[in-house]
Amino acid sequence: MAQITSGTGQLAQLDLPTEIRNPKSTNLHLLEPERILELINEEDSFAIEQAKLQIPNTSKLVALAVNAISSGNSVHYFGAGTSGRIATQDAAELYPTFHSPTEAVQAHMAGGLDALLTSVENAEDDFEAGMADAGKVREGDVVIGLAASGRTPYVGGALTAARAQGAKTSLIACVPEPQLGHLADVLIAGDTGPEILTGSTRLKAGTFQKSVLSGFSTALMVGLGRTYSNLMVSMVATNEKLHSRSIRILMEGSGVSESTATELLGQSGGDLKLALTSGISGVTPALARPHLEKAGGVVQRALESLAQAEDK
């Protein structure tokens, strides 16, 4: 039987919970597709439960990130392989969904852009590259490393550099006592256990990381006032579908008719938050604008400001 060795000639450490064999799937090659899918789904459900257990720690990370971005700083994700791709996707979707500035949440992938589409697996072992990629991290930023194994050298380099530069740090890992845990101010360590396909952390370990990260970034954007109720009031209408969604959001959020919503959105120059503030308060977009600007673009605060002005 072939041995897997590291570059030093030593047997690679494959004793992690994410690397050992899962007794539920030792006959995987003999199973029908339906049973394979059932097993994967069962394990994904377990990963979601592990993410739920980490909510207290994740909420601490949200608070740190809200404070950082509100103070003009940034959040940085660092990851390799599946972890890095999950991080990159999460960061990329924040602009169209929340109109979040691209510098607010930035993703850094081991191996660079090429690794997003093609496997560059050796990139995860480059500690120095992680340090170099974190070179622009500033004091007051929040740096989040994603490493299913909890020991990825690239992520370790990034967290080491970030701490040296005065940033707050976090690690999202899929083992209970990750090797890099001491580098994290906020540790989010699930215990997802062995995969249905041994060592394939693109499965439930990836599910855990996706659940934690998408929950984190959504709560972050809500905390920054980029939603109103459960509506995406900060989204960018870049096509006809999204323009129609803007009209529907405006109707649902303010109770106005479709014709009024269309008119308000036009008067607001396509600014959905301004149109919504106008529609809810009953004042014109022109009158609502200074209140929304004073409120930093937060609809709820703008409405409170308008209410106070009306009471005077």
User: Can you list the domains of the chain with their CATH numbers?
Assistant: 48-223 (3.40.50.10490), 240-311 (1.10.8.1080)
Q: How confident is the model at residue 276 (pLDDT cuts 50, 70, 90)?
A: very high
In this predicted structure, what is the pLDDT of residue 119? 80
How many CB atoms are located within 10 Å of the residue 13 CB? 11
Q: How confident is the model at residue 235 (pLDDT cuts 50, 70, 90)?
A: confident
Task: Note whether 280 and 268 are within 8 A (CB).
Answer: no
Higher pLDDT, 9 or 14: 14
Structure tokens at 108: 């850094």
In this predicted structure, what is the pLDDT of residue 238? 77
105 pLDDT higher than 50: yes
Residues 73-99: what's their mean pLDDT?
96
What gap in Å lies between CA 132 and CA 142, rounded to an integer?
Answer: 16
Share of the chain above pLDDT 70, in %: 95
What gap in Å lies between CA 222 and CA 71, rounded to an integer?
Answer: 16
What does pTM read for this prediction?
0.91
In this predicted structure, what is the pLDDT of residue 4? 30
Task: State the catalytic residues.
Answer: 93, 124
Q: How confident is the model at residue 14 (pLDDT cuts 50, 70, 90)?
A: low
2 pLDDT higher than 80: no
243 pLDDT higher than 60: yes
Residues 57-75: what's their mean pLDDT?
98
In this predicted structure, what is the pLDDT of residue 9? 40
pLDDT tens column, 121-160: 688 999 999 999 999 999 999 999 999 999 999 999 999 9
Q: Which amino acid is at 16?
A: L
Q: How confident is the model at residue 13 (pLDDT cuts 50, 70, 90)?
A: low
